[in-house]
Structure 1
Amino acid sequence: MKLCMINDQDCSDICRLTGQLVERNSPNTDIFLKLCQQMSERCANECDHHKNIAHCDKCADACRKCVDMCREYEMAH
């Protein structure tokens, strides 16, 4: 469970920073979008190991939505 919590925090930090880069049209956005996708996938996969914990179920769903949003943004730009 410790790894899951570390992944949650790391993923949250990367997602927050990626959102900030997107907002300011940073030239580094593409790099962080890929990292955000990777971290979100890793986090969702780790949360899947804890299926009976409500927080992990919600977190995995949110992470998968984040992956989809990053991909959609990349395709649009």
Structure 2
Amino acid sequence: MPGFWVGIDSGKRAHHCVVIDQTGTVLLSKRVGNDENALLELIATITEIADEREVCWSKISVDLRVLTARRTDLI
């Protein structure tokens, strides 16, 4: 079982990323621009959080008004 789940809500100008652990605790919730350097920094941050543990990446839909995430598609 993965130690963490990473969900990305992709947008034209920006993306939103949420990282949760096995208990559902949100470890990271961050908006990043649609920019290569910003995305590379995000991946580096997630790599640090994971600390060599397994990560499951998925595409999600995020409703920022209520801060909930719904998994829609595993990548």
Structure having the higher strand fraction is: 2
Same fold (TM > 0.5): no
Structure having the higher helix fraction is: 1
Structure 2 length-normalised TM: 0.30
Structure 1 length-normalised TM: 0.29
Which entry has the higher C-alpha Rg, 1 or 2? 1
